[in-house]
C-alpha cells in the first residue's frame, strides 16, 4: 500500500509536468517541481499531518522565492507546528529584508515572540507595524496582549477599549479584554463584559474558553468542558485571579 507521502509525490510530479511543460519523452527530461506546485504539495502535506514532507517542500520553495512573504510565513508555520520555534524566528528574521513587503513577516515575528514569552521584542515589532498602519485593529489587539504579558494591564486595556470603539461587537476583542481585566483584579467588570456572550452560538473555541475562564473567576458556573468538567477552567481562573499565569490564556 502506498503511503500518503508517496501519493503526494506522484501527484506533484504529474502536476509539474503540466505546469512546467515536461518533454513527452521522460528519458530526455526529468520532471522538476515548480514553485507553485511545490507550495501546493507542502500545504496538502501539512493538512494531512505529514510535516517532514511539508518541511522539505517549503524549505525548497523558501530558497527559490526569497521575496515571497506568504511562502516564508507558510514555512515558518510548519516549523512552529514541529516545535522548531527558533528556526521559525530565524527564518523570518533572514527574510525581513528580502521580501517586497515586510509587514506580514513582522507580524509573524511578533506572534512568535508572544508565544515564546519575549513580549518586549513583540512590542517592538507591533510598534513598527502600528507606526506604518495606526488603524490596524488586529495589531492594536495583538499589542495589547503583549502588554498584558508584561503586566502592563492599564496600557493594554486602553488599547482594547480603542479596538472595541471600532468594533463594539467583536467577541475576540471582548474576551481578550475581559481576561486582561481579570489579570488586573477587575473581575466584576470582566464578568459584566462577557455576560452577554455567555449563551451565544458559533463561538470560536478560544473565545468560549476565555469566557468560561472569566465567568469562573467571577464565581459563575460554566458548562462542563470536554476534558471532564470544570477543573481545568477553575484552576486557570484561580491562577488569573491571583495575577499568575500571564502567558497561554491570551494566546490565539
Per-residue model confidence (pLDDT) at position 225: 42
Which pLDDT value is given to residue 221? 60
Backbone angles phi, psi at 43, to 5 degrees: -65, -45
pLDDT at 231: 40
pTM of the full structure = 0.65
The alpha carbon of 50 is separated from its chain's Cα centroid by a whole number of angstroms, namely 20
Q: How far is CA 2 from the centre of its chain?
A: 33
Nearest CA to 172 out of 140, 195, 203 is that of 203
Mean pLDDT, the chain cut into blocks of 10 residues (252 residues total): 37 34 41 71 86 90 91 91 92 91 89 86 92 91 89 94 94 92 92 89 84 83 45 38 32 38
Amino acid at each position: 500500500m502506498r503511503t500518503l507521502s508517496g501519493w503526494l509525490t506522484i501527484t506533484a510530479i504529474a502536476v509539474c509536468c503540466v505546469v512546467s511543460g515536461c518533454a513527452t519523452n521522460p528519458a530526455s527530461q526529468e520532471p522538476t517541481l515548480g514553485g507553485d506546485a511545490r507550495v501546493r504539495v507542502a500545504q496538502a502535506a501539512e493538512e494531512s499531518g505529514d510535516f517532514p514532507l511539508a518541511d522539505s517542500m517549503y524549505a525548497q520553495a523558501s530558497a527559490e522565492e526569497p521575496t515571497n512573504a506568504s511562502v516564508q510565513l507558510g514555512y515558518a508555520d510548519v516549523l512552529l507546528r514541529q516545535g522548531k520555534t527558533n528556526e521559525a524566528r530565524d527564518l523570518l528574521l533572514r527574510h525581513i529584508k528580502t521580501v517586497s513587503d515586510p509587514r506580514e513577516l513582522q507580524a509573524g515575528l511578533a506572534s512568535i515572540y508572544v508565544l515564546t514569552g519575549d513580549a518586549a521584542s513583540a512590542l517592538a515589532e507591533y510598534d513598527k507595524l502600528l507606526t506604518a498602519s495606526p488603524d490596524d485593529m488586529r495589531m492594536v489587539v495583538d499589542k495589547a496582549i503583549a502588554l498584558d504579558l508584561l503586566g502592563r494591564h492599564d496600557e493594554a486595556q486602553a488599547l482594547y477599549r480603542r479596538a472595541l470603539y471600532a468594533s463594539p461587537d467583536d467577541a475576540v476583542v471582548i474576551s481578550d479584554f475581559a481576561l486582561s481585566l481579570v489579570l488586573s483584579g477587575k473581575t466584576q467588570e470582566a464578568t459584566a463584559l462577557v455576560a452577554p456572550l455567555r449563551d451565544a452560538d458559533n463561538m470560536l473555541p478560544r473565545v468560549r474558553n476565555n469566557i468560561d475562564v472569566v465567568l469562573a473567576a467571577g464565581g459563575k458556573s460554566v458548562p462542563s468542558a470536554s476534558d471532564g468538567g470544570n477543573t481545568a477552567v477553575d484552576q486557570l481562573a484561580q491562577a488569573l485571579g491571583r495575577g499568575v499565569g500571564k502567558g497561554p490564556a491570551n494566546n490565539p
